[in-house]
Structure 1
């Protein structure tokens, strides 16, 4: 299996150097001799060093992508030769999961977990996948790769349950599901041949920071991810006070509307009027064509349509449905998109990122992201 640590060492790259530098400053956060490396920092270092596409914001099964290789990035503390770590959250499916117990619950968790992996494979054109691990121990980091397996539904055994959790195995791995957090964990074994990166934590990291300020010209960071300027979140559903629903005759299901004859691929992404009111300069004017890049890299021609510019559509219109309805949601022609289908896959919104007035990107976002976007003022 590919070893990113060995690749970086052989090419005198930045990955091991940056991990070492961040780890040496652990005294800013803890008195422990176990290096402190925030998982987001580890993800950013990995993507910067290996020119990987950072997928962490979309919260799909993978954190990074290099060509057709999907990568899950894990950073955790370990004192033994293994650690049990989170691999999936099923908050949007908690009501469904409460209906199952024992092996039936294990099977349902396996089904949902596998569907999430397949979803990410479809969205990003992933052909192979693996986990890259940064395990933190006293005075060192252990770096290694391991498999990114589906759960083997036909081999689930050793099912045990108590008031707090369910445990099971599938012949490959041990899994644990926490009821209260609707979170699935997997045991990661640390191989004896893991790459060992020695770390000497600096005794006085504050002196290093002061020296940096005195001897370096500081270039202020630019906010490249400003809400309403560089991105907006759009819901794929409508909602009342108590529930969310996918419109049966508009939005994703516009093909199902009455009146004139409709194409089976006719659909649009709804744009709530609040988005236009709060961020009037984000989208181009109505009917102005712009580029919309899919997560696969494919670029579509898009524009805003209908009254109050409430619809994001592509030309041809079925180009958007080929991606979202057929490839991502895997709906057959004539099959309605539903909130239950979105919940099962773990997303109900999309993020539109703005490069400039003529170039935009779209990606999926996890369940309730639009609600959080509206509340985070």
Structure 2
């Protein structure tokens, strides 16, 4: 509802630190949305989940009773995700926009979207399942059993920006009966694929190809000239072209079609647009011209790496991302955005299940297993 009324970009279906991004002339604002029933002025609300990293990063610290290290690691990873999305969506400001529902009114409260101050952390209390800590600006609570981080929000009278009268229905189903929706044409389902930031064969980020192509040997044999900073390309596993043969509007496995195909436009999360092509043997590479345009955006602008700094699986795990989501708008326009850890692998499992259900011939979706055999 917020996104529709205020005409902002809705991020609630994405694994993002923000729920929406608003654009005001040259300003881009990352917005966190929270709603709760106003039973008291102070309340804890969930701000982050750590389901994937908690067993690896947090559980050992809890077992060793390293609680100061635990709250530091939680705070560090929370900050990294916020900074990642600030870079990805190129935001200038960030806020929490909160609505609390009281008797026959709703209260509008806005607060700062702060990074956690790592040098001011203090553990306030802990049990076997909860850890409460402060950074001097805000108070947080980590639930180990659910791997979630909550932040304390205040909605006392002096924090309320506006009070809006509302009518509360005792039976919401009676209200729904009053709503008549026009019959709408079925929305067209957009084609989507996922591309790994790592090698689908080696299950790691290669040091001299893909996003580390800048680290490969010089193009001219015997030359000492280094490849350009941020030279990179997105690896496309061959099985994706077999399974989605016309995703890019042409048969990427056919060299002739690939060579005569025109470039297409990549739409970035921060509204920038780049021209790109599918190239190399078997269409294994998605790249811009020059290649460093793509590399600088992903490696520097989004992932925060410095020139000639290797991308590693450890860095991706720390940020909670390891793949890219590519959504086809039409044959010449594609939306590209980061996808969270295991998104590519989970998508691959879904594709395998669909192929089995259809009874079609199963392509080789797991080349790294064949190599091991």
TM-score range relative to shorter protein: 0.7 to 0.9
Paired residue for 1:93? Answer: 53
| Structure 1 residues 217 and 239, CA gap change in structure 2 (3 angstroms) | closer
| Structure 1 residues 277 and 140, CA gap change in structure 2 (3 angstroms) | farther
Structure 1 residue 159: Cα displacement? 3.5
Write the distance in 2 (CA, Å) between the matches of 1:359 and 1:155: 46
Out of 53, 77, 86, the position equivalent to 2:9 is 53
Paired residue for 2:119? Answer: 154
What is the root-mean-square deviation in Å for CA atoms of aligned residues?
Answer: 2.4
Paired residue for 1:253? Answer: 212
TM-superposition CA deviations, 1:121-149 (whole Å, max 9, x none): 11111111100112234544332211111
Out of 75, 82, 86, the position equivalent to 1:110 is 75
Alignment of 1:334-349 (within 5 A): 334-349=308-323
Q: Which moved more, 1:81-90 or 1:259-268?
A: 259-268
TM-score norm. by structure 1 comes to: 0.78
Structure 1 runs not aligned, ≥5 long: 1-44
3-state SS of 1:313 partner: strand
Structure 1 residue 93: Cα displacement? 2.6
Paired residue for 1:24? Answer: none
3-state SS of 1:57 partner: coil
Q: Which moved more, 1:310-319 or 1:103-112?
A: 103-112
- How many residue pairs match? The answer is 325
Paired residue for 2:265? Answer: 291
Contact 1:58–1:364 (CA under 8 A) maintained in structure 2: no
| Structure 1 residues 210 and 132, CA gap change in structure 2 (3 angstroms) | closer
| Structure 1 residues 289 and 178, CA gap change in structure 2 (3 angstroms) | same
Q: Which moved more, 1:112-121 or 1:318-327?
A: 112-121
Paired residue for 2:231? Answer: 266
Contact 1:58–1:363 (CA under 8 A) maintained in structure 2: no
| Structure 1 residues 189 and 283, CA gap change in structure 2 (3 angstroms) | same
1:359 and 2:333 equivalent?
A: yes
Structure 1 residue 337: Cα displacement? 0.8
Contact 1:134–1:141 (CA under 8 A) maintained in structure 2: yes
Alignment of 1:188-337 (within 5 A): 188-193=153-158, 194=160, 195-202=162-169, 206=173, 209=176, 212-213=179-180, 217-223=182-188, 226=189, 229-238=190-199, 244-258=203-217, 260=219, 262-285=227-250, 286=258, 287-337=261-311
3-state SS of 1:274 partner: helix
Write the distance in 2 (CA, Å) between the matches of 1:163 and 1:311: 49
3-state SS of 1:92 partner: coil
| Structure 1 residues 81 and 204, CA gap change in structure 2 (3 angstroms) | closer
| Structure 1 residues 303 and 284, CA gap change in structure 2 (3 angstroms) | farther
3-state SS of 2:328 partner: strand
Q: Which moved more, 1:248-257 or 1:313-322?
A: 248-257
Write the distance in 2 (CA, Å) between the matches of 1:181 and 1:245: 29
Structure 2 runs not aligned, ≥5 long: 221-226, 251-257, 355-373
Structure 1 residue 354: Cα displacement? 2.0
Moved over 6 A (4+): none
